[in-house]
Chain A
Amino acid sequence: MISIQNLTKVYDGASGGTHALRDVSLEIPDGDIFGIIGISGAGKSTLVRCVNLLEQPTSGHIVVDGTDVTTLSGAELRAFRYRTAMIFQGFGLLAQKTALENVCFPLATGIGRLPEGARDKGLELLGRVGLADKADSYPAQLSGGQKQRVAIARALACDPTTILCDEATSALDPASTEQVLDLLAKINQETGVTMLVITHSMDVVRRICKHVAVLVGGEVVERGATQEIFQNPQHKVTKALLGKGDWNA
Chain B
Amino acid sequence: MLSGWGDFVAEYSGLLTTGMLDTLAMLFVSTGIAYVFGTVLGVVLYLTSPIGLKPHRVFNGILGWIINMARSIPFIILLVALMPTTRALVHTTTGVVGVTPPLVASATPFVARMIEQSLAEVPRDTLESVVSFGASMPRIVLGALLPEALPSIVRGISITLISVLGYTAIAGAVGAGGLGDIAIRYGYYRYEDEVMVVTVVLLVVLVQIIQTVCDLIAKRIDHR
Q: For B133, B147, B151, B223, which residue has the most chain A Cβ atoms within 10 angstroms?
A: B133
Is B181 in contact with chain A by the CB < 8 A criterion? no
Choose the segment among A14-22, A92-100, A189-197, A232-240 that binds chain B (4+ C-beta atoms closer than 8 Å): A92-100
* Closest residue on chain B to residue A52 by CB atoms: B132
Q: Which residues from chain B contact A106 at a C-beta distance below 8 Å?
A: 133-135
**Inter-subunit contact B147/A81 (CB<8 Å):** no
Is B116 in contact with chain A by the CB < 8 A criterion? no
Minimum Cβ distance to chain A for residue B67 (Å): 27
Q: Which residues from chain A contact B126 at a C-beta distance below 8 Å?
A: 92-95
User: Which chain A residues in 145-199 approach chain B with CB under 8 Å?
Assistant: 151, 154-155, 158, 164
Is A91 in contact with chain B by the CB < 8 A criterion? yes
User: Which chain A residues in 93-126 approach chain B with CB under 8 Å?
Assistant: 93-97, 105-106, 108, 110-112
**Inter-subunit contact A112/B136 (CB<8 Å):** no
Is A216 in contact with chain B by the CB < 8 A criterion? no
Choose the segment among B22-30, B74-82, B137-145 that binds chain A (4+ C-beta atoms closer than 8 Å): B137-145
Given contacts A94-B144, A96-B148, A97-B147, whether A110 and B136 have CB atoms under 8 Å apart is yes
Choose the segment among A82-90, A201-209, A241-249 that binds chain B (4+ C-beta atoms closer than 8 Å): A82-90
**Inter-subunit contact A81/B133 (CB<8 Å):** yes
**Inter-subunit contact B134/A79 (CB<8 Å):** yes
Partner of A80, one of B130, B131, B134: B134
Is A230 in contact with chain B by the CB < 8 A criterion? no
Partner of A158, one of B125, B133, B143, B148: B133
* Closest residue on chain B to residue A102 by CB atoms: B129
Is B97 in contact with chain A by the CB < 8 A criterion? no
**Inter-subunit contact B134/A82 (CB<8 Å):** yes
**Inter-subunit contact B136/A78 (CB<8 Å):** yes
Q: Which residues from chain A contact B223 at a C-beta distance below 8 Å?
A: 95-97, 138-140
Partner of A91, one of B125, B148, B150: B125
**Inter-subunit contact A96/B134 (CB<8 Å):** no
Is B192 in contact with chain A by the CB < 8 A criterion? no
Q: For A80, A86, A94, which residue has the most chain B Cβ atoms within 10 angstroms?
A: A94
Complex Cα gap A245–B143 (Å): 50
* Closest residue on chain B to residue A97 by CB atoms: B147
Complex Cα gap A108–B130 (Å): 12
**Inter-subunit contact A110/B129 (CB<8 Å):** no
**Inter-subunit contact B135/A90 (CB<8 Å):** no
Q: Which residues from chain A contact B130 at a C-beta distance below 8 Å?
A: 92, 94, 105
Q: For A79, A80, A88, which residue has the most chain B Cβ atoms within 10 angstroms?
A: A88
Given contacts A92-B125, A95-B126, whether A54 and B148 have CB atoms under 8 Å apart is no
Minimum Cβ distance to chain B for residue A139 (Å): 8
Given contacts A91-B125, A94-B126, A95-B223, whether A85 and B142 have CB atoms under 8 Å apart is no
Minimum Cβ distance to chain A for residue B161 (Å): 23
Minimum Cβ distance to chain B for residue A216 (Å): 26
**Inter-subunit contact A93/B129 (CB<8 Å):** yes
Q: Which residues from chain A contact B129 at a C-beta distance below 8 Å?
A: 86, 88, 91-93, 151
**Inter-subunit contact A81/B143 (CB<8 Å):** no
**Inter-subunit contact A108/B148 (CB<8 Å):** no
Minimum Cβ distance to chain B for residue A90 (Å): 4
Q: For B126, B132, B136, which residue has the most chain A Cβ atoms within 10 angstroms?
A: B132
Minimum Cβ distance to chain A for residue B50 (Å): 12
Residues 206-219 of chain B, each 1 if its beta carbon lies under 8 Å from chain A, else 0: 00000000000000
**Inter-subunit contact A95/B224 (CB<8 Å):** yes
A-B contact pairs, 18 of them (CB 8 A): A77-B134, A81-B132, A82-B134, A86-B128, A88-B125, A89-B125, A90-B125, A92-B126, A93-B126, A95-B223, A96-B147, A96-B221, A96-B223, A97-B223, A110-B136, A110-B138, A112-B142, A158-B133
Interface residues of chain A, those whose CB is within 8 Å of chain B, are 52, 54, 77-82, 84-86, 88-97, 105-106, 108, 110-112, 138-140, 151, 154-155, 158, 164
Interface residues of chain B, those whose CB is within 8 Å of chain A, are 123, 125-126, 128-136, 138-139, 142-144, 147-148, 150-151, 221-224
Counting from the closest, the 5 A-B pairs by CB-CB distance are A92-B129, A81-B134, A82-B134, A78-B134, A138-B223
New contact pairs (14) apart from A86-B132, A95-B224, A96-B222, CB-CB < 8 Å: A81-B132, A86-B133, A88-B128, A90-B125, A92-B130, A94-B147, A96-B151, A105-B130, A110-B138, A110-B139, A111-B138, A140-B223, A151-B129, A164-B132
